[in-house]
């Protein structure tokens, strides 16, 4: 890991966003990085949206907040334009869903996370793990092996298999998106 990763995930309470961010943090930590992970809640722990983030870096992390992340994943909306200004100039934006007909900027990726969890994993609750897969697949911020190990550690013992599947499907979707982007770039 050569750069400082600042990854933010936006979801609604109960979507497992916090766990996803912890999994990313643990994976990065296992690979020898410094990490800081945290989250914001709505009023006390009630309703509304929640955001979680991870900072990972080889050097020590003092300032524990993210101002403009270099990776932003949005579970709750497909309106990517609203979020473009929130990310770092070289940042990547990952939206949950299918892109519209219009041309999408190069740094924006659409991954149908909920759909994958719903239709392919057949367990909507695993959306957050699909999400981990997508981030890892798109960014390579941690190795897939490290990420998978972290996933297995953070899900209930009896749900390891299904979550492994969710992760792999997330990674695969990411790879496909990358390939498509590359294709469209070269075309």
Partner 1 sequence: MAEAKLLSGNDACVQGALAAGVRFFAGYPITPSTEIANAFARELPGRGGIFMQMEDEIASMGAIIGASCTGTKAVTATSGPGFSLMQENIGYAAVAEIPCVIINVMRYGPSTGLPTSPSQGDFMQTRWGPHGDHPVIVIAPYTAREAYRETGRAVNLSERYRVPVIVLMDEILGHLRERVEFRDEDLVQEINRKGPDPDSTFLPYEYTEDGVPPFANFGTGYRYHITGLIHDETGFPTNNPVEVDRIMRRVNEKIELHRRDIARTQFVEVDDADILVVAFGSVARSAHEAVRTLRQEGKAVGMVRPVTVWPFPDEDIRKAAAGKKAVIVPEMNLGQMVREVERVVAGTVPVHALNRIDGLLITPQEMRDLIEDIQ
Partner 2 sequence: MGELHEKYLRMNKMPHIWCAGCGNGIIMGAFITAIDRLGYDKDEVAAVSGIGCSGRITGYLDFNTIHTTHGRALAFATGIKLTKPRLKVFVFMGDGDAVAIGGNHLIHACRRNLDMTAVIFNNHIYGMTGGQFSPTTFKNKSATTAPYGTTDPDFDIAQLCIGAGATYVARGTSYHARLLTDLIVKGAEHPGFSVIEVITHCPVNFGRRNNFESPAQMLLWQKEHGVAARKAKAMPLEDMEGKFTIGELYRSTEIPEYLEEYGRVIQAANEEKQP
Smallest gap, in angstroms, from Cβ of residue 26 to partner 1? 5
48 belongs to the binding site for partner 2 (CB under 8 A): yes
100 belongs to the binding site for partner 2 (CB under 8 A): no
Q: Which does 34 bind (CB under 5 to 8 A by kind): partner 1, partner 2, none?
A: partner 1
Q: Which does 107 bind (CB under 5 to 8 A by kind): partner 2, partner 1, none?
A: none
Residue whose C-alpha is closest to residue 36's, from 68, 6, 16, 10: 6
36 belongs to the binding site for partner 1 (CB under 8 A): yes
26 belongs to the binding site for partner 1 (CB under 8 A): yes
- Counted residue by residue, the chain has a size of 187
Number of residues that bind partner 2 (CB under 8 A): 9
What the block records as the tokens of 50 is: 């929640």
Cβ-based neighbours of 117, under 8 Å, separated by 6 or more: 123, 124, 125, 126, 127, 129, 130, 166
Q: Which does 47 bind (CB under 5 to 8 A by kind): partner 2, partner 1, none?
A: partner 2
For residues 67 and 95, the answer to whether their CB atoms sit within 8 Å is no
Stretch that binds partner 1, among 34-42, 89-97, 110-118, 168-176 (CB under 8 A): 34-42
45 belongs to the binding site for partner 2 (CB under 8 A): yes
Q: To which residue do tokens 């800081």 refer?
A: 36
Smallest gap, in angstroms, from Cβ of residue 179 to partner 1? 33
**Phi, psi dihedrals of residue 95, rounded to the nearest 5°:** -110, 145
Any alpha helices (H) in the chain, and if so which ranges? 17-30, 81-84, 113-115, 127-139, 144-154, 160-186
Q: Which does 101 bind (CB under 5 to 8 A by kind): partner 1, partner 2, none?
A: none
> Greatest CA span in the chain, whole angstroms?
50
45 belongs to the binding site for partner 1 (CB under 8 A): yes
- Interhelix angle 160-186/127-139, rounded to 10 degrees, is 40
SS3 call for 110? strand
Q: Name which of 46 and 85 has its Cβ closer to partner 2.
A: 46
Residue numbers at the binding site for partner 2 (CB under 8 A):
13-14, 42-48
Point out which residues bind partner 1 (CB under 8 A): 22, 25-26, 29, 33-45, 61-65, 67
């Amino acid at each position: 890991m050569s750069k400082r990763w600042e990854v933010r995930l936006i979801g609604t309470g109960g979507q497992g966003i916090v766990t996803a961010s912890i999994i990313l943090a643990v994976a990065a930590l296992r690979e020898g990085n410094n990490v800081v992970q945290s989250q914001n809640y709505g009023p006390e722990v009630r309703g509304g949206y929640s955001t979680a983030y991870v900072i990972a870096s080889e050097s020590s992390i003092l300032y524990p907040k993210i101002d403009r992340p270099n990776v932003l994943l949005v579970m709750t909306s497909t309106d990517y334009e609203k979020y473009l200004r929130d990310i770092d100039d070289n940042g990547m934006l990952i939206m949950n869903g299918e892109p519209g007909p219009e041309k999408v900027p190069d740094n924006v990726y659409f991954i149908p996370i909920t759909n994958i969890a719903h239709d392919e994993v057949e367990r909507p609750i695993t959306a957050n793990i699909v999400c981990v897969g997508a981030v890892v697949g798109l960014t390579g911020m941690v190795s897939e092996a490290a990420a998978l190990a972290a996933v297995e550690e953070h899900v209930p013992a009896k749900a390891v298999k299904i979550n492994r599947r969710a992760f792999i499907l997330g990674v695969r979707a990411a790879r496909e998106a990358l390939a498509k982007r590359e294709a469209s770039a070269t075309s």
